[in-house]
Structure 1
């Protein structure tokens, strides 16, 4: 049973895993045992949304709070916790965004490998996306390859026009203790709808 991001990413990337910077490999080699999560802390340097993004963010907030944040902000702390559950192959990731002048926003997603060897990330209410992994310049990249709504175990594709856009994420290494995360969501018609960028480090006992 795969219950860590590192094990899943190694399996999916295959030989390409060796092209990752050694610091990134070491970072994902940690396995969050049940009851013993991995914790990261950092600062969000950029949080933006377009006009269309703001509308989508407010419309979806009751269903997937925090997945699409309808705010523009910068320089605020973020805490991340990666954990597993006994008897589950899912990898859970909880984020707490401590925005300036607002109540903290908490968002939890989980990642699974499908029976067909796909990496799926679920963001709430059965909604999720398929992710494609790649290694470029030693850094780890993710791109969404379609969104879906899962009902009674059946994945129903969501047409691209009715989604916030294609998601691009880069995990870029700074050094053994620090890394950058940048997320951009780009719609074919409306352009960039959401952006997040931040600098993080692992919190160790």
Structure 2
């Protein structure tokens, strides 16, 4: 596989097709169409939704507060429910990465903005960066026509080098389900499970394209 930066894929769909191979065709057609849309520079894709659950354990809360100054929004040390979230997927000129900005509008708090970006490594891995050089490798699969992501290790990238982070020092293994509801609507569930402390973070929500 070539380098994601060199090939210049225009969408998450192109990246996911390359990684999933023949398995891509088993995805629900609505999900295929959703990820095939290309967010050209200056023309982002926008989604609006509601999180029915945002929760963290005591260990998650501690980790969330410790990392809040560095990767604000990646690990939120709060519990809340039924609040709006706006998502914007965009690209930048001459950069093949796909950026995803989320704005969480929790009750009684200022909006929390969190931006990550995704790209393919030279070895054909899907990498998501959450800030300060911190990121994770993602494995993709299809389950019942829906898209499933699992983290396969966290790392800290410094001067082009990826330094692995031991599992016990990380937030835990990340699981993300993207399930289709209709051509215009999908639901998301995210769980992070630590090897010592169990489930540390959970997000559950329903979204539609604006």
8 Å CA contact 1:41, 1:78 repeated in 2: yes
Residue in structure 1 matching 2:206, options 162, 174, 199: 199
Structure 2 residue runs of 5 or longer lacking an equivalent are: 1-7
Q: Secondary structure at the match of 1:59?
A: helix
Residue in structure 1 matching 2:33, options 15, 21, 26: 26
| Cα distance in 1 between the residues matched to 2:17 and 2:88 | 21
Q: Secondary structure at the match of 2:95?
A: coil
Does the alignment pair 1:76 with 2:83? yes
Residue in structure 1 matching 2:183, options 176, 181, 186: 176
1:3 CA drift (Å): 2.9
1:2 CA drift (Å): 1.0
TM-score (norm 1): 0.98
| Cα distance in 2 between the residues matched to 1:95 and 1:3 | 20
Residue in structure 1 matching 2:93, options 70, 78, 86: 86
TM-score (norm 2): 0.96
Does the alignment pair 1:115 with 2:84? no
| Cα distance in 2 between the residues matched to 1:90 and 1:21 | 24
How many residues were matched structurally? 203
Runs in 1 of length 4+ with deviation above 2 angstroms? none
The aligned counterpart of 2:3 is none
Residue in structure 2 matching 1:186, options 177, 187, 193: 193
Q: Secondary structure at the match of 1:102?
A: coil
Does the alignment pair 1:167 with 2:170? no
1:123 CA drift (Å): 0.1
Structure 1 residue runs of 5 or longer lacking an equivalent are: none
1:4 CA drift (Å): 1.1
| Cα distance in 1 between the residues matched to 2:70 and 2:88 | 21
Write out per-residue CA displacement over residues 15-53 of structure 1, whole angstroms, 9 at most, x where no aligned residue. 000000011011111000000000000000100000000
The aligned counterpart of 2:67 is 60
Root mean square deviation, CA, Å: 0.4
1:148 CA drift (Å): 0.1
Residue in structure 1 matching 2:152, options 134, 145, 170: 145
Residue in structure 1 matching 2:104, options 71, 86, 97: 97
